[in-house]
């Protein structure tokens, strides 16, 4: 038999929809004509159709549709492409942060705003986007693992029915320690993968496009950040390999891994934890929620990673000056004080805020 719905409007014949004047139980023999239709298609209201047997009406339960999960390969690809798109917008702040952290004391730029203003005045838009190509490669290679691995690792630690790293079969979300562990693993993997591009990006961003314009401002040459004079990403990579060998591409990777091991757990744990908390309070899943969670996580991340960020920038740009990360940290604290560890933190948030927002919204 074929059962019409309780609203007296629809009768389904093997996927074929047929409007009816009333809700009735129909005999299959008189509707054989519809059996030849291979696929469900909407049909026009039918004329009179012979119905031999009429019985009492029965209601059908509407089917529910499940939300399809994004395949893991597509998820990895999106995790790589979204940060690359965000880097186009946030690269000027990253460039200014690198220059502030690389300078000794306040020799070239006294503040974040002055750095952006002076670079735009002396070097134009090209100066603001210095190192963009390396930044795109860095974001793609890093977040392929940093964000892409977070969900699979979290799923391994906290199995769920849909494999999405959400609530388990008892409806319990992953605890914070599992989020931190997943972020630690994915952050370390991403830091190792992107280290060659991170190294070249930092050196490109620090170097001045038009010589040394600071001489007119009375800055001694020995206080200027080291200038590598790279012509581009490929020139930088080949120069490193020619000078230091393949191992040179992994220079200061331990500091980079430490930075990723600190920043990624804080970023992803705060973001996902805040989302789950607000979802539990009935807040709907909207771009506004993504923006609020992204900005909150970026503020926490910028503060957490800035000390290691300053040490890494110094070691990337001046590899022969320091024997180790500890030597760099001790000399910096001795000559510039503890405040040097938070140099560029405002620019760090200005970069991470829009970057994380665009990444998670995209």
CA atoms 258, 357, 295, 349: torsion sign: positive
The three-class DSSP label of residue 18 is strand
DSSP string, 298-319: HHHHHHHHHHHHHHHHHHHH-T
* Cβ atoms 301, 263 nearer than 8 A: yes
| Residue recorded with tokens 């490109």 | 204
Residue spans of the chain under pLDDT 50: 1-67, 216
The whole-number pLDDT of residue 156 equals 87
DSSP 225: P
Q: What's the pLDDT at 107?
A: 73
The DSSP symbol for 101 reads: H
- Token pair, residue 186, equals 């994915």
- CA-nearest of 132, 134, 144 to 187 is 144
Question: What is the Cα–Cα distance from 298 to 42, expressed in whole angstroms?
Answer: 50
Give Rg (Cα) of the chain: 30
Those residues whose C-beta lies under 8 Å from the C-beta of residue 261, and which sit 6 or more positions away, are: 184, 187, 188, 191
Instruction: Supply 66's token pair.
Output: 């499940």
Q: Which of 197, 225, 209, 235 is nearest to 130 (CA)?
A: 209
Q: 């974040």: which residue's tokens?
A: 112
pLDDT at 362: 63
Helices then strands, each counted (H, E), the chain? 10, 4
Given this model, what pLDDT does residue 155 score?
85
Q: Are 270 and 296 in contact (CB under 8 A)?
A: yes
155 CB-side CA count, 13 A: 12
The closest of 257, 262, 309 to 142, measured between CA atoms, is 257
Q: Which of 342, 109, 95 is nearest to 219 (CA)?
A: 109
User: pLDDT value at position 216?
Assistant: 45
Identify the pLDDT of residue 7: 46
């Amino acid at each position: 038999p074929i059962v019409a719905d309780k609203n007296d409007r629809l009768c389904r014949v093997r996927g074929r929809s047929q409007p009816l004047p009333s809700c009735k139980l129909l005999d299959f023999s008189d509707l054989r004509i519809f059996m030849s239709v291979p696929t469900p298609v909407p049909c026009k209201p039918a004329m009179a159709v012979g119905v031999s047997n009429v019985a009492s009406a029965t209601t059908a339960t509407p089917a529910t549709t499940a939300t399809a999960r994004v395949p893991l390969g597509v998820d990895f690809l999106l995790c790589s492409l979204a940060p690359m798109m965000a880097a186009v917008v946030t690269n000027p702040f990253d460039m200014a942060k690198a220059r502030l952290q690389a300078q000794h004391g306040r020799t070239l730029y006294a503040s974040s705003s002055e750095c952006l203003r002076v670079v735009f005045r002396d070097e134009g838009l090209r100066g603001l986007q210095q190192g963009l190509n390396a930044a795109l490669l860095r974001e793609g290679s890093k977040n392929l693992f940093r964000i892409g691995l977070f969900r699979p690792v979290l799923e391994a630690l906290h199995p769920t029915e849909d494999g999405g790293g959400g609530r388990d079969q008892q409806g319990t979300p992953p605890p914070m320690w599992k989020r931190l562990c997943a972020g630690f693993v994915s952050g370390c993997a991403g830091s190792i993968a992107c280290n060659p591009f991170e190294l070249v990006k930092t050196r490109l961003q620090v170097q001045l496009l038009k010589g040394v314009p600071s001489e007119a401002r009375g800055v001694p040459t020995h206080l200027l950040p080291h200038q590598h004079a790279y012509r581009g990403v490929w020139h930088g990579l080949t120069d490193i390999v020619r000078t230091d060998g393949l191992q040179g591409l992994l220079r200061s990777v331990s500091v980079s891994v430490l930075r990723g091991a600190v920043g990624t757990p804080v970023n992803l744990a705060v973001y996902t934890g805040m989302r789950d908390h607000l979802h539990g309070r009935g807040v709907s899943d909207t771009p506004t929620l993504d923006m609020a969670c992204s900005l909150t996580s970026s503020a926490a991340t910028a503060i957490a990673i800035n000390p290691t960020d300053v040490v890494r920038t110094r070691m990337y740009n001046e590899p022969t000056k320091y024997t180790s990360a500890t030597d760099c940290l001790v000399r910096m604290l001795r000559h510039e004080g503890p405040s040097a560890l938070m140099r560029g933190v405002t620019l760090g948030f200005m970069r991470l805020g829009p970057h994380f927002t665009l990444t998670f919204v995209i």
